[in-house]
Structure 1
Amino acid sequence: MKLSVVIPAYNEEESIGETLRTLYTKLVQEQIDHEIVVTNDNSKDNTLGQLQLLAQEIPTLSYYTNPGPNGFGYAVRYGLERYQGDCVAVMMADLSDDPDDLVRYYHKLQEGYDCVFGSRWVKGGRVVDYPVHKKYINRLANGIVKTLFQLKYNDCTNAFKLYSRHTIEGLKPFLAPHFNLTLELPLKAIVRGYSYAVVPNSWTNRKYGESKLKIKEMGSRYFFIMMYCLIEKYFSRGDFHKARLTAHKS
């Protein structure tokens, strides 16, 4: 099973080298057939130049520049239209996500799940240097999602997840252009009946640069995606559900 890793990158010249080298080394060490797909989201720094150099060093790396429109969601979607693997993970360019966790995701998916979701907030999960205000907002937002969708899972908003190819195809078309894509993907998967496993994962705050997530700008966008998925859950009559899609294709 070939693993694809989609990484959006905007102004990550200081982080991207360490991130890609660490990820590549781990996947080679674990003998996992893979590709790394980076979408340069029209960076204003030398991210593109770093990627050009890294591509000569890392044989499984391919990179693209998203001509626009730009934004986190658009950059991820650009990569999701171009990956070649049997499953695909979304990871961040700042090494906040741990390649060791990705290996665990990969092996868990092979047990027969459609998706593997990490949680930083269960036993075995951890966060390092997580900003207090972001933690408060994160826990509040995920609590609302848990309640509305009647979930046990408590970390929907984290981008770092793994999906089989047939799951990704079943979630299209994508709507979210920004960080709210991190909520759209798992909620659609859950609402549409795709199976998922939850494993503990870790998160470490970036060493370089600054976070691209602007919380004040994202509230209404997260709310839109949440309400869209909620409407689908209760009013779509199962038209997008995995079982019905499979039956229709056969």
Structure 2
Amino acid sequence: MRPRVTVVIPVYNEGEAIMQHMERILRDVLLPAEILLVHDTPDDTTVPYAEKLAMADPRVRPVLNTYGRGPANAIRFGIDTAIAPVVVVTMADGCDDPRQIDSLAMLVERGVVVAAASRYMPSGQQVGGPFLKRLMSRWAGRSLYMFTRVGTRDATNSFKAYSAEFVRTVGIESRAGFEIGLELTAKASRARLPVAELPTIWLDRQLGESHFDLGRFLPSYLKWYRFAYGRRLTLDQLAARRERVEAAELAATPPAVPLNSNI
């Protein structure tokens, strides 16, 4: 059966800890789905467990990210690899509530291009996590909601569902970290396309260590926060922006040296 939703989970040395989170996802996702466990290297400690899960459940598919290391590239690769018309991005640490994956996906099926799981709307909650990160995230979400009518109070949350067609049209420029959720929400807002939200309860991870580096990722978040305040853009303009970024990256890539070259 063709999946209605592709669940993209970037993983990085999660090891056995991935099993507990995947057990909940496989139990709670009821829509026809494929679940991509995207890893950067073949020797990632998650891979043996991902392969074990794939043998037990055909919905699970471990995939090797070939776009470059890091969560942004893993998410980009996962979305480009997705079969379903709706993509849900969720983290491997168990902080997100997998019971909401179906609900977020169905919002996109009803016509929104971004459906956000919101910690900061009524009935939402964030439990745990670094104080400064929580404060900045809440401030960014509330201010964007008030001043740009972005459609969600939690634009920075990575736990979102997307129209795959929308994402492939506007492209993903992020290369650093987890700012993709903010980038795509800002682009939807600039294009005046519908964004919706559902309340969620986010719980800080209980196993393993967080790979979120606030100092490293903050400049990218600020870039897309400022971008959200710009004038209206058409999908054609956003697509042209994507093409310029891709062309610049291609031009900056050094040519491959033939294996038999004497240089």
Per-residue deviation, 1:238: 6.9
1:228 positional shift: 4.2
1:193–1:241 CA contact under 8 A, matched in 2? no
Q: Residue 124 of structure 1: CA displacement?
A: 1.5
Mark the CA change 1:110 to 1:139 in structure 2 (over 3 Å): closer, same or farther. same
Matches within 5 A, 1:175-194: 175-177=173-175, 178-194=177-193
**How many angstroms does 1:113 deviate by?**
2.5
Report matched runs for 1:61-210 at 5 Å: 61-67=60-66, 69-146=68-145, 149-151=148-150, 153-172=152-171, 174-177=172-175, 178-210=177-209
Query: 1:22 matched to which residue of 2?
Result: 24
Change (3 A) 1:112 1:19: same
Which residue in 2 is equivalent to 1:240? Answer: 237
Checking the alignment, whether the CA contact within 8 Å between 1:115 and 1:161 is kept in structure 2 is yes
Judge conservation of contact 1:119–1:155 (CA < 8 Å) in 2: yes
Q: Hey, what's the Cα distance between the residues in 1 that align with 2:66 and 2:92?
A: 19
Match in the other structure for 2:13: 11
| Contact 1:11-1:46 at 8 Å conserved across structures | yes
Task: Give structure 1 stretches of 5+ with no counterpart.
Answer: 243-250
Higher relative contact order, structure no. (Cα contacts within 8 Å, ≥ 6 residues apart):
1
The range that moved more, 94-103 or 82-91, is: 94-103
Select between 84-93 and 104-113 the one with higher mean Cα deviation. Answer: 104-113
Once the 2 structures are TM-superposed, how far is the Cα of residue 70 of structure 1 from its aligned partner?
Answer: 0.7
Give, in whole Å, the separation in 1 of the partners of 2:163 and 2:116. 12
Q: CA 1:169–1:68 in 2, change beyond 3 Å: closer, same or farther?
A: closer
Distance 1:150 1:110, change over 3 A: closer
Q: Aligned partner of 1:122: which letter? A: M
Backbone CA RMSD of aligned residues: 2.4
1:41 to 1:143, Cα distance in 2 relative to 1, 3 A: same
Could you say if the C-alpha distance between residues 238 and 152 of structure 1 is closer, same or farther in structure 2, counting changes exceeding 3 Å? Answer: closer
Tell whether 2:60 aligns with 1:58. no
Matches of 1:165 and 1:182 in 2, distance apart? 14
Conserved 8 A contact 1:39-1:66: yes
Aligned to 1:246: none
Q: Kindly state the Cα deviation for residue 239 of structure 1 after the two structures are TM-superposed.
A: 4.3
In the alignment, the residues of structure 2 paired with residue 212 and residue 144 of structure 1 have an alpha-carbon distance, to the nearest angstrom, of 26
Aligned to 1:34: 33
Question: Which residue number in structure 1 is paired with residue 48 of structure 2?
Answer: 49
1:144 shift after superposition = 4.6
Distance across 2 between alignment mates of 1:10 and 1:196: 29
Q: Structure 2 vs 1, CA of residues 116 and 238 (structure 1 numbering), >3 Å: closer, same or farther?
A: closer
State the shift of 1:50 in Å. Answer: 1.3
What is the one-letter code of the residue matched to 2:7?
Answer: V
Q: Give structure 2 stretches of 5+ with no counterpart.
A: 240-263
Cα distance in 1 between the residues matched to 2:37 and 2:21: 11
Deviation string 1:154-193 (CA, Å, 9 cap, x unpaired) is: 2100011111222222221x11012222211111122122
- Matched length: 236
Whole-angstrom distance in 2 between the partners of 1:168 and 1:236: 15
What residue identity is the alignment partner of 1:33?
Answer: P
Classify the secondary structure of the residue corresponding to 1:157. coil
1:219 CA displacement: 1.6
Counterpart residue type for residue 93 of structure 1 = A
Contact 1:192 1:240 in 2 (8 A): no
**Identity level (%):** 26
Instruction: Specify the code of the residue in structure 1 equivalent to 2:231.
Output: Y
Partner secondary structure for residue 13 of structure 1: coil
Runs of 4+ more than 6 Å apart: none
Which stretch shows the higher mean deviation, 203-212 or 111-120?
111-120
Worse-matched range after superposition: 150-159 or 206-215: 150-159
Q: 1:44 to 1:241 in 2, by over 3 A?
A: closer
